[in-house]
A and B are shown apart, each in its own frame.
Chain A
Amino acid sequence: MSETLESAIRDISQACGNDRSRMMDIVEAVQAKYGCVSGEAMDLIAKQVSTHRVEVESVVSFYAFLSEQPKGKVVIRLCDDIIDEMKGSESVAEAFKQELGIDFGETTPDGVITLEKTPCIGMCDQAPAALINNEIITYLSSDLAREIVRKLKKNPDPKKLVGRLGDGNNASHLVHSMVHNNIRLAGEVIFSEMAPGAGLKNALALNPQEVIRDVKTARLRGRGGAGFPTGMKWDFTRQATGDKKYVLCNADEGEPGTFKDRVILTEKSDLMFEGMAIAGYAIGADTGIVYLRGEYAYLRPLLEDVLARRRNDNLLGNDVMGKKGFNFDIRIQMGAGAYICGEETALISSCEGLRGDPKNRPPFPAQKGYLGCPTVVNNVETFCKVARILEHGPGWFAKMGSEGSSGTKLLSISGDCAKPGVYEVPFGIKVREVLDLCDAEDTAAVQVGGPSGQMIGMNQFGDSICYEHLATGGSVMVFNSTRDVLTIARKFMEFFVEESCGFCTPCRVGNVLLKEKLDDIIEGKGKSGDLDYLESLGATIKAASRCGLGQTSPNPILTTIKNFRSVYEAKIAAGKVEEGFQPTFDIHAALQTAEGIAGRKSVHA
């Protein structure tokens, strides 16, 4: 047995050139083959790529989809976000538990099926959903959950679970998935017809500086959320010294409520790859990497197929489109379940085969990025926009949208509305117009930009969605008047606690403290002064955290206090005991651990 493990790891490592920086590929392959990366496997991998065992452990223990302990042949990961919860994921969870006879985080005694929860898998428009190995199961119900377990018990092959296929490329043999695109509003930038090579051809007719000039003239800003001017980023990278430069595409769409990149990857990856090639030409890079979130592994065969076709058509490879000396190719790097890897420096760390810890800035990726080389990192949607700008000209693009936010934006709309899905809208659109488009009724709150964005109330529905007012990487979650904003905020805080990399103190500890206080308030143990506490603690976390995660993680609490203060105050007032003391300490709960150790109940319990 050990010998086979040894030879398997030798083969896997050798296939990755025994390269330490390909650690993600190596441990993912071992995980897929053995259901875990055991201590023995870590030793062998370390030996093979000349590193230390603890370095391997460091990586394996960081990512949710990797584990030292063996997992079942089938891993059911039920999506655990607020939208899925609103659509009934709790009853689905119960059904899975009952039918499997295990709790979440456990594996059936026969070692076949593991049951887990996972943060947003990018299917909020078809929730509740689950990831079963690499297969996506949508529109779950408790009945369907039971049926799934019964089928898996007979035949533990998740591929057999895929029911009616989705639309577009989801139905192709390469994807073969139940996922629906739900493209509700197809705008002219992303979803219009494209002829592969059209934008690239125009780009190659210009010199690289002129390409960057066009991107600047179009006033394109990053579509991932932060909104940095793309042309400026490229200019920095172009000017940075380095023989080797890289173009990285951030396809680690993980902000809860965002799924627009999934649709681009399914239907318009050609556009994205084209944008990457244009970026490569502009900055002087010959290698592109798409960092694809582990949840979207089901799309990889399709993406590889598009890449192969583009190579075949000389849209990738040597002397691209006959342009002497311009060589560019793209590979796909799989993620393994870590939201933080959507942060550009954490994404670089992960591509380098490290824990997904963000890096210190400066140096910025434009100076020292992937493997220390100047690197551009842009979002999937940004690259698509680039391809169109080069195809139709910067003026065409810049006249769409608003003053400071040119062009269109893809929104992923979910929650309490009749038409959840993807909408391509011009920047500057008002929240109210968006709510009309998706047929939302009785809307009381909208989360714009996902948990790291802001929760707004009715008095802000007249505000526009753009970088200057309500910024969003794409997530728009709609909540009607029956929803409790505090419960929603708690769900978001749980997410940040779970997804903090733990590198810096304020984010690692502060978010836990925020969540605990919010728990108290929700449980009726709030007291006056709690809102000041939350606000001052939130301010410290935002100011002192090292990366964008911690700098935005208090937003669920801070923006709900700002816009829904009366909800907090009512909750705190309701919990107040008329006279006397308010219990903040539960002695029975505190004694539970000791009672467990002693093996008996307290006498006066």
Chain B
Amino acid sequence: MSNTITFTIDGVEVTGQPGQTIMEAADAAGIYIPRLCALEELSPHGSCRVCTVMVNGRPQAACTQPIADGMVVENDTEQILAIRRDIIDMLFVEGNHFCMFCEKSGNCELQALAYRFGIAAPRFPYLFPKRDIDATHPDIFIDRNRCILCGRCVRASRDIDGKNVFEFVGRGFEKRVAVNAEANLADTDAAATDEAVNVCPTGALLKKRVGYAVPVGQRKYDHKPIGSEIEKK
């Protein structure tokens, strides 16, 4: 018994293993905590803050916060939902997202989260940043307009592909994902088979020529909301 940790999420008792994060324990228990930068196969990043929960009354990121005995976690409260809605809104207005023209539509986690939260339009004004695209690589396409700076590609390239093709440069609102070359992805050793290309939650990093292989209407989130794969457990 000493090897399990018991805590609650919205009053529901959850058990987990020492060393687990709130998100890992919640996933195992079939409780969905929304997220964008977190991905099971990657080390936690804690940057998007969509997974913010209240832990004993204090806001924490569920993806990085370890569980502890007796912890009281609030996940589905008005206060938390309002924070998450604001963050999702921020990610939309920060970039240039045009779902209706985007080949990732239906498979996009940002879009799916917005649907799950019932967001029809962001409450913040669009910031219309000037961002660039990089189509130099024969098989991979970067559209920074759709990048939400979650760092999944950075981590996957470094930790899984062992290539360090991507890294953040600049700071603040000017922060962006750069490639390991003077300017162009074509000058790196990135390949379409890289895990880094698969993990992008939005349409910022895409494989060329396969965008519509799965038709709209049959895509991942076309019928079931994001998170239902965890809640089904």
Tell me the A residues contacting B by CB distance below 8 Å.
39, 52-55, 57-58, 61-62, 338, 340, 355-356, 360, 362, 497-506, 508-510, 512-513, 516, 536-537, 540, 543-546
Contacts and interface: CB of A to CB of B under 8 A. Distances in A.
Contact of A54 (B52, B66, B124, B166): B166
Given A362-B66, A544-B87, A502 B82 contact: no
A266 B166 CA distance: 42
B171 A540 contact: no
A502 B171 CA distance: 5
Nearest to B165: A54
Contact of B178 (A58, A356, A501, A543): A58
B171 to A, nearest CB: 5
Given A497-B172, A546-B47, 8 more contacts: A61-B170, A62-B169, A502-B174, A505-B87, A537-B86, A540-B83, A544-B49, A544-B52
B184 interface: no
Contact of A62 (B93, B170, B179): B170
A516 B48 CA distance: 22
B16 interface: no
Nearest to A60: B169
B64 interface: yes
29 contacts: A54-B167, A340-B171, A356-B171, A360-B61, A362-B65, A497-B173, A498-B172, A499-B172, A500-B173, A502-B170, A502-B171, A502-B172, A502-B174, A504-B46, A504-B49, A505-B50, A505-B87, A505-B90, A505-B94, A505-B149, A506-B49, A508-B175, A509-B90, A512-B127, A513-B124, A537-B86, A543-B52, A544-B59, A546-B49
Interface string B26-56: 0000000000000000001011111010000
Contact of A540 (B87, B167, B175): B87
Contacts of B180: 52-54
Nearest to B94: A509
A500 B173 CA distance: 8
Interface of B: 44, 46-50, 52, 59, 61, 64-66, 82-83, 86-87, 90-91, 93-94, 124-125, 127, 148-149, 164-175, 178-182
Contacts of B48: 504-505
Nearest to A502: B175
A505 B150 CA distance: 9
B178 A360 contact: no
Contacts of A362: 65-66
Contacts of A509: 90-91, 93-94, 127, 173
B59 to A, nearest CB: 4
**3 tightest A-B contacts by CB?**
A502-B175, A509-B90, A54-B180
A121 to B, nearest CB: 19
Contacts of A52: 164, 167, 180
Contacts of A504: 46-49
B61 A58 contact: no
A53 B178 CA distance: 10
Contacts of B165: 54
A508 B167 contact: no
Main secondary structure of the interface of A (DSSP, over half): helix
A471 to B, nearest CB: 18
Nearest to A584: B125
A540 B86 contact: yes
A596 to B, nearest CB: 13
A57 B59 CA distance: 33
Contacts of A355: 168, 171
Contacts of B44: 360
A62 B176 CA distance: 11
B90 A510 contact: yes
A543 B167 contact: no
A546 B175 CA distance: 16
Contacts of B46: 360, 504, 546
A538 B124 CA distance: 13
A257 B165 CA distance: 41
B169 A57 contact: yes
A53 B181 contact: yes
B164 A54 contact: yes
Given A54-B180, A508-B149, A544-B49, A61 B172 contact: no
Given A61-B170, A497-B173, A512-B173, A543 B90 contact: no
B64 A54 contact: no
A542 to B, nearest CB: 9
B205 to A, nearest CB: 15
Contacts of A53: 180-181
Q: Which of A53, A55, A544, A545 has the most CB of B within 10 A?
A: A544
Contacts of B83: 540, 543-544
A377 to B, nearest CB: 20
A502 B167 contact: no
A54 B172 contact: no
B134 to A, nearest CB: 13
Contact of A502 (B52, B93, B127, B149): B149
A57 B91 contact: no
Contacts of B174: 502
A293 to B, nearest CB: 16
